[in-house]
Structure 1
Amino acid sequence: MLLTALLIFGSFQKGRADCDVPSVTTVSGNQVPSGKICSGDLIFEDNFDELNLKKWQHEVTLGGGGPMRLEKIFLYHGTLSLIGGIPVDQCTNPQWYGCERTGKPDSVLNPIKSARIRTVDSFSFKYGRVDVRAKLPGGDWLWPAIWLLPRYNQYSGWPASGEIDIMESRGNKELKNGDGQNIGTQQVGSTLHFGPNYNYNRYEYAHFEKNNASGYDTNFHTYGMQWNPDNISFYVDDEVIGTDTGLENPWQRNTKMAPFDQEFYIILNLAVGGVNYFPDNADNPGGKPWLNGSPKASTDFWMGRDQWLPTWHLGTDDSHLQVDYVKIWAL
């Protein structure tokens, strides 16, 4: 199903003083259009001719659900690259085994550098169409994502206030589930996370996947969503892969799409490893060096680098998440 109707927009001007069709889209931040927002307006755009730090905030953290550290980005010929790499000071002390201090199993240093940028301080919006043209990385245990989080957590902490994953994928070229389906570079997924608490995340009711035998790491593709007041559609290269028209939510005072009726901001990131995204029971050449439930997941991951590091083809851009542009239009 092609998004023919969704592609028909009006003027692509930024906010103006008056228009025939006011938009239901709302925006906040210091990088938003001035004047009234009209239907079809281009309200956010970055072609990455430079890294505009007024638009993007570079997040450095030891978080992220597992063994990753977020730092490395660069621009090349109008493309943003988010990179996974090895810290130069990693494991130089013989009293450290990968990332865990001897005798202190709860003292863990994430062993990998990666990257995350976001618009949390500069741009958030409610309702619109998002297009992100990107080439995904190839390399075992790489985890690229294009996603959104709520600016103000109107419905309390995660996942109660929601999360919108436009695209997630895995960098393993030959990772397969029990049915023999490739769940690595040949598969992308789109997901809505929501629910009253961490143990009641209802994402399985709003999760969609699309496979491509050529692999999403071999070429650029467009990942996006159409976010309306009464539904959210995800697509790859203008083909809808799933639509959600209403959620099981306890916030009856608000819309049926709650918590997805508040402003969200954009995140682009490449993570590595983690303890909740790569299944322990999936089949991968060379195996999986760590278990998600292990108290030494970071150490086990690092000690298994002879398995995964050669698949990154360091010195090339194979393991980079490369983003050509981000564009958002008002409804």
Structure 2
Amino acid sequence: MKIFIDFTALVGIFLLLSCSSIDRSNGDGEVIKPSNLSVSATVAGATAQNPNGDGSGTVNFNISATNATSYKILLGNGETEGLTNGSFTYTYATAGTNTYVIYVSAYNSGQFVSSTISVTVFVGTALVWSDEFNVNGAPDSSKWGYDLGAGGWGNNESQYYTNRPENVIVQDGLLKIKTLKESFSGSNYTSARILTKDKFSFKYGRVEIRAKLALGAGTWSALWMLGSNINTASWPACGEVDIMEHVGNSQNRVHGSLHSPGRSGNTPDTSTVMVPNASTEFHVYSIDWSATSIKFYVDNQLFYTFANSASLPFNQNFFLIINCAMGGNFGGAIDPNFSASTFEVDYIRVYN
């Protein structure tokens, strides 16, 4: 009886597969190549006065082809979508007016036909998240959490990160991260590291941070981001974007770096720029991040362009981190006369 049931099931599966292939094969069982591929793109809010749309970046695609069972669309910005339905809506995020060449393929098993169109889309710049640090007290708990502990999680750092007001406070319109020489839970220094993990993350856009950096040999001020999948992908597979790093042992030299598999630790993709008075004056540190590039700026002056691609981990949501470390693999030797220094942030703003 068991043999009979298994045989019947196999016959049923065969018939099911045969029936499912009728609509994509001719009478001789040959797969029919798709034909009559048609692709149209309608930009949301497009008018005679605003032919490239209303600034939302939304485009409605309609794709059809005779005998097609699936579609693939390359969106011209490094992203690809696979579809079984020819109706598809996508929102471009790169601000400004940009023209994208769209590649579309219609498939029927191993047979396919392709076509291209171009679409010009206007995306307005909009603020999607910010902290102006205008309310005195602890950092806004709806926006920021804390990393607490010693060692810097593999960086051999000398500070203990706390959430005490002695180390992190919003005061007089500024976030102040205070690094202190003191004995605390087995460490000789204290500081703070705040982050938006599980509270805010984003994919692509512009980040602007106005800050005045810590001073002193051994200090290591950082404004940076990690991939939101770090709990499952781990580092460096999750990706790391260092918007700004500055070590007191190389005063006024600002680093912009990216860490990914094979390009991490001491061998990241990186560039530097000299920023006069980095620890005595405020400067704006920013990146423009898209599927094709990550551009690093200081005071709106471009100093590094990194070529992004779909094979890298920089095409997912990231969260923000602000901290000041002491010593460690990158911070280096600490001045024995160091007593205290403050890393100040005026604002952080994220645009689409």
TM-score (norm 2): 0.60
- Distance in 2, Cα, partners of 1:202 & 1:49: 35
Residue of structure 1 in register with 2:49 after alignment: none
Residue of structure 1 in register with 2:256 after alignment: 190
Is the aligned partner of 1:209 residue 2:272?
yes
Residue of structure 2 in register with 1:231 after alignment: 293
Q: Which amino acid aligns with 2:293?
A: N
Residue of structure 1 in register with 2:346 after alignment: 324
Shift in CA distance, 278/48, structure 1 to aligned 2, threshold 3 Å: closer
Deviations 1:105-129 (A, max 9, x none): xxxx332110110000210011000
Residue 185 of structure 1: how far off its partner (Å): 2.0
CA contact (8 A) 1:153 1:161 kept: yes
Q: % of aligned pairs identical?
A: 32
Is the aligned partner of 1:21 residue 2:57?
yes
Larger-Rg structure: 2
- Distance in 2, Cα, partners of 1:230 & 1:154: 26
- Distance in 2, Cα, partners of 1:19 & 1:238: 23
Residue of structure 1 in register with 2:208 after alignment: 131
Q: Which amino acid aligns with 2:125?
A: G
Q: Which amino acid aligns with 1:241?
A: F
Q: Secondary structure at the match of 2:202?
A: strand
Residue of structure 2 in register with 1:60 after alignment: 148
Residue of structure 1 in register with 2:120 after alignment: none
Is the aligned partner of 1:86 residue 2:181?
yes
Residue 25 of structure 1: how far off its partner (Å): 4.6
Residue of structure 2 in register with 1:70 after alignment: 161
Residue of structure 2 in register with 1:142 after alignment: 219
Choose which of 178, 188, 198 in structure 2 pairs with 1:121.
Answer: 198
Residue of structure 2 in register with 1:178 after alignment: none
CA contact (8 A) 1:24 1:127 kept: no
Is the aligned partner of 1:164 residue 2:241?
yes
Residue 278 of structure 1: how far off its partner (Å): 3.8
Q: Secondary structure at the match of 1:126?
A: coil
CA contact (8 A) 1:148 1:164 kept: yes
- What does 1:243-262 align with in structure 2 at a 5 Å threshold? 243-246=305-308, 255-256=310-311, 258-262=312-316
Identify the structure with the greater strand proportion.
2
Shift in CA distance, 45/264, structure 1 to aligned 2, threshold 3 Å: same
CA contact (8 A) 1:187 1:215 kept: no
- Distance in 2, Cα, partners of 1:244 & 1:43: 24
- Distance in 1, Cα, partners of 2:231 & 2:132: 31
- Distance in 1, Cα, partners of 2:293 & 2:197: 24
Q: Secondary structure at the match of 1:218?
A: coil
Q: Secondary structure at the match of 1:49?
A: coil
Shift in CA distance, 110/89, structure 1 to aligned 2, threshold 3 Å: closer
- Distance in 2, Cα, partners of 1:272 & 1:86: 10
Residue 20 of structure 1: how far off its partner (Å): 4.2
- Point out which structure has higher relative CO (alpha carbons under 8 A, 6+ apart): 1
CA contact (8 A) 2:57 2:93 kept: no
- Distance in 1, Cα, partners of 2:56 & 2:174: 36
Q: Which amino acid aligns with 1:226?
A: D
TM-score (norm 1): 0.64
